[in-house]
């Protein structure tokens, strides 16, 4: 299997960044390394995201240290059975999507390439999973803790902060929000207490102290 398709993509449209990508198998071939060890070459296509449709090449080796990891990667791609000559179960037919861990590595010419380091299942990796009975027992122990953490604000999720209501029915007679200890009149411009109000008439004769009545009134507000 040639990975020329992958190298062409790298040269023409840029190298795929390091990270994890959902992939499906499009081809697989058995062969040998330059040292004569058996290997498998797998062509992968990114199945979703920004780089959907881009190709990657994965090479898995069959040595005492690597055979188990290679077969796990094949299983994640949908390979079934135990006959290595029957690879069709993981080539585009099963619809299985696995996760490819991509890292950058220099080729023989010193050019950086995107290489698939590992192939994992698409689900969450967990070495020691709970069985159904263990899950039920754990959930029962955690129920009281979860209930104690519930409040009216976070009962439905979120960060627990209550946002101001935009419903007119929730406003009080002063223009604030019901349930608030202060009026929220952000939509109105507040005048400083010392600002002159030209729309307020000066006090009349009856509003002045008795000893100043009849002296006339001078408006000294500035």
| DSSP string computed for 137-165 | HHHHHHHHHHHHT--TTTTTSS-SPPPPP
Structure tokens at 116: 């698939």
Of 1-15, 18-32, 43-57, 122-136, the one with minimum mean pLDDT is: 1-15
pTM of the model: 0.53
What is the rounded distance in angstroms from the CA atom of residue 22 to the CA atom of residue 16?
13
How many whole angstroms separate alpha carbon 102 and alpha carbon 105?
Answer: 10
Q: Span 205-216, mean pLDDT?
A: 55
> Does residue 101 lie in a domain region?
yes
Q: Say if CB 7 and CB 56 are below 8 A apart.
A: no
Work out the average pLDDT over 81-90.
91
Q: Cα separation of 23 and 195, whole Å?
A: 69
Give the total number of structural domains in the chain: 1
- Given a cut of 80, whether residue 183 has pLDDT beyond it is no
How many CB atoms neighbour CB 143 within 10 A? 10
Torsion of CA 25, 75, 69, 134, to 10 degrees: 130
Query: Is residue 45, in this structure, part of any structural domain at all?
Result: yes
**Average pLDDT of 120-146?**
83
> Is residue 127 in some structural domain?
no
Angle, CA 116 vertex, CA 20 and CA 101 arms, to 5°: 20
Residue 16 in this model has a pLDDT that exceeds 80: yes
Token readout for 59 is 């090479």
Residue 88 lies in a domain: yes
In a domain, 34, yes or no: yes
Establish if 89 belongs to a structural domain. yes
CATH of residue 68's domain is: 2.40.50
Q: What is the DSSP letter of 177?
A: B
Residue 53 lies in a domain: yes
The secondary structure element, H or E, covering residue 100 is strand 98-106
- pLDDT for 82 equals 92
d(CA 129, CA 138) in angstroms, rounded, equals 12
| Domain encompassing residue 27 | 4-120
Q: Is 137 a member of any domain?
A: no
């Amino acid at each position: 299997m040639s990975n020329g398709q992958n190298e062409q993509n790298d040269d023409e449209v840029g190298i795929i960044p390091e990270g994890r990508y959902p992939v499906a198998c499009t081809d697989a071939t058995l062969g040998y390394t330059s040292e004569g060890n058996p290997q498998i070459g797998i062509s992968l296509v990114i199945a979703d995201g920004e780089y959907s449709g881009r190709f990657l090449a994965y090479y898995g080796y069959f040595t005492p240290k690597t055979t188990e990891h290679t077969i796990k990667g094949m299983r994640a791609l949908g390979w079934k059975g135990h006959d290595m000559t029957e690879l069709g179960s993981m080539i585009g037919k099963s619809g299985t999507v696995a996760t490819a861990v991509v890292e950058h590595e220099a080729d023989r010419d010193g050019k950086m390439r995107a290489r698939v380091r590992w192939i994992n299942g698409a689900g969450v990796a967990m070495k020691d999973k709970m069985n159904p009975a263990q899950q039920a027992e754990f959930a029962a122990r955690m129920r009281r803790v979860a209930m104690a953490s519930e409040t009216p604000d976070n009962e439905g999720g979120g960060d627990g902060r209550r946002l101001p209501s935009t419903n007119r029915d929730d406003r009080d007679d002063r223009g604030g929000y019901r349930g608030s200890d202060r009026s929220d009149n952000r939509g109105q411009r507040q005048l400083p207490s010392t600002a002159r109000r030209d729309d307020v008439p000066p006090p009349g004769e009856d509003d002045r102290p008795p000893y100043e009545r009849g002296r006339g009134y001078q408006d000294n507000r500035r």
